[in-house]
Structure 1
């Protein structure tokens, strides 16, 4: 049994925020029917494309955000509206990524839909929510990160360089995570009351509460944080945490000078290698002295890591209880021994005689069987099947 076995979801979404929400549900066994217009979802036209063969069924972006779903190609705002209504009638969840103007243009009214289908949970995931002066504004991952605040904390020590967008569609994924949580709460309430409801998720608001230390520093001491290279934004600069190793790779080592235990562990390690230099002097046991001589401490640590390869630094540091990790390129993650041991990347049949590696779900359940990752549907692949199901329901 899978966690969402038996959960029927109808998805009308064209951006990664709502689509990723649907993927999270499909990954755990929900039957997610993606209703696409005749030309297909907009994400089918976003590259990169498999083998550089541009087409509606080769977008790697679409593959990632729509794995495990079924595709119904319908003119759902026009001639196929009755089919769409039939789909919603048999669903538990309607997942929508449409802004208010788009809803109106499609003739879709959430209040009327809930009145007609009181059991359905309508999950709306939009850039700015369904109300307010920005409700119909367009957005993107970068726009959302900028307007919501996180972007200001991302970048380099050199503040003549503008803020830098973090990779990986983090804005869309943050909104999807909040949407998933909101849906679970609505489903729990439906279990008590027997009624669905509208869950209105704003990507803008999701990011406005996801600015790490910036909010509490401003709310309480009223100070602004400053972005730093590869470390958390703080009101005052902290010591650099990236160190180059002998194999020309980098590690991240978050040494907090005020924490005596990791300082002693690092010092013992350096002493064993004969590389502690003058840091073994008694005065360095005093925190205030270490902080005053921070630049020198940093130089000695940099030399220490330059004389060993990154794998040794990583594993030996972790053995000693130090927060050290390698800075992997994305392609190197595919060869990560820990992910490989847990079977995170799995071969998926692409439906054309080929297969490819896909990331599996990060969840591990003792009482559930998580389904393996599944490929994204080809445009309209399940239209006939879904039409037959709707007709059978109303026969």
Structure 2
């Protein structure tokens, strides 16, 4: 494999939360030397389940930790002691990038001053991906993935047509994933700028702001026509209800298909598909070429479509719809993706050796012409402490002699 995208980049990760750990993982999987600094008891993510192979409570078998920490090195430093803080300071001095997720108060309590660090080490880029950013009245407030989705406005658009039911949280730590994406982008911009100026800087990413700007059409609808969006079951939030888009197939799997009546070309393709199974009935009549007539008979069309899908299994429906150029897809469960033929063809899932056996992990979210990295084994707690400490001491001696 050719040199990976981030080869030669040294990163010190003090992140305790996924929004920062994800950035470190993206860098490490593509060749960066990401050194995760952990307390003697291990990062808090090591103490979150579920657990691999029945190793309940074992910090080296947390699937949560594995997910966000592939390809990194782990070093234990007791930063409650002067010697531990001195070693951390040496490590940061030799780094290109520092990643943190703490609030200003938490950073101060840990003895971390990002402004002082970037002034002392002018090459250093300090990436902070914190709940509310490093400034402002909420800077020291606590948050979580769900709190971030709620306060940032996205949660109000997630849920069912019945608005007597509270909003529904989307899974997968979406707030943290979004913040990490902005964090990664901000870091790349800072690295590009450093190539010109030679100077690092603080990149201050607020999870709250990352969510606030990711609300799809909610913001422009309110900013301009002063219209509120209404959440809808498995559909985009809109000012007024749109047609249901989930249809059950013969195998019990739901498919998503937005029945858009206003597009005559799509309507013709749909009628032809129905007719191929003898189910077009009167929809092929000339009067249905008029949008107004289709709209007046929407519920009748919807009923026919429900019967149409119930007669076929989801795989057949998906393949045929795509063959005809219709945007339709099955509602897959996460475990279904392991057998997804497209992901398999692209080699997306990769085997990572852990404890003498291969564990399947999602691969890189991007591919590069000159070589794409893949997840490597997540580190066991403190596995690289001696090696990393020896490296920083040797580097310090070389610096002292030069």
Whether TM-score is above 0.5 comes out as yes
Deviation at 1:284, TM superposition (A): 1.4
Deviation at 1:213, TM superposition (A): 1.2
Q: Distance in 1 between matches of 2:365 and 2:13?
A: 23
1:75 aligns with 2:75: no
2:27 matched residue in structure 1: 25
Structure 2 unmatched runs, 5+: 398-402
Pick the aligned partner of 1:362 from 355, 362, 365.
Answer: 365
Pick the aligned partner of 2:302 from 285, 298, 301.
Answer: 298
Q: Does the CA contact (< 8 Å) of 2:30 and 2:374 recur in 1? A: no
Pick the aligned partner of 2:313 from 294, 304, 309.
Answer: 309
1:93 aligns with 2:97: yes
1:197 aligns with 2:201: yes
Q: Does the CA contact (< 8 Å) of 1:77 and 1:107 recur in 2? A: no
Deviation at 1:76, TM superposition (A): 2.9
Pick the aligned partner of 1:348 from 322, 341, 352.
Answer: 352
Q: Does the CA contact (< 8 Å) of 1:47 and 1:59 recur in 2? A: yes
Deviation at 1:116, TM superposition (A): 0.9
Matches within 5 A, 1:4-153: 4-54=6-56, 55-78=58-81, 79-153=83-157
1:392 matched residue in structure 2: 394
Q: Distance in 2 between matches of 1:224 and 1:283?
A: 35
Deviation at 1:255, TM superposition (A): 2.6
- Return 46-55 or 218-227, whichever deviates more: 46-55
Q: Does the CA contact (< 8 Å) of 1:11 and 1:22 recur in 2? A: yes
Matches within 5 A, 1:259-274: 259-274=263-278
Q: Does the CA contact (< 8 Å) of 1:8 and 1:31 recur in 2? A: yes
CA displacement 1:211-239 (0-9 Å, x = unmatched): 01111111111101111111110001111
Matches within 5 A, 1:224-303: 224-303=228-307
Q: Does the CA contact (< 8 Å) of 1:20 and 1:65 recur in 2? A: yes
Q: Distance in 1 between matches of 2:153 and 2:295?
A: 31
CA displacement 1:18-69 (0-9 Å, x = unmatched): 1111111112111110001111111111111112322101110100000111
Instruction: Give the structure-1-normalised TM-score.
Output: 0.98
1:188 aligns with 2:197: no
Q: Distance in 1 between matches of 2:80 and 2:208?
A: 27
Structure 1 unmatched runs, 5+: none
Deviation at 1:77, TM superposition (A): 4.6
1:157 aligns with 2:156: no
Q: Does the CA contact (< 8 Å) of 1:97 and 1:126 recur in 2? A: yes
Q: Which runs of 4+ in 1 moved over 4 A?
A: none
Q: Distance in 2 between matches of 1:52 and 1:128?
A: 37
Q: Does the CA contact (< 8 Å) of 2:158 and 2:170 recur in 1? A: yes
CA displacement 1:339-385 (0-9 Å, x = unmatched): 111111111100x212210111021111x211222121111011011
- Three-state SS of the structure 1 residue aligned to 2:339 is coil
Instruction: Give the structure-2-normalised TM-score.
Output: 0.96
1:360/1:333 CA distance change after superposition, 3 Å: same
RMSD: 1.0
- Return 73-82 or 8-17, whichever deviates more: 73-82
- The number of aligned residues is 393
Q: Does the CA contact (< 8 Å) of 1:29 and 1:370 recur in 2? A: no
Q: Distance in 2 between matches of 1:195 and 1:372?
A: 30
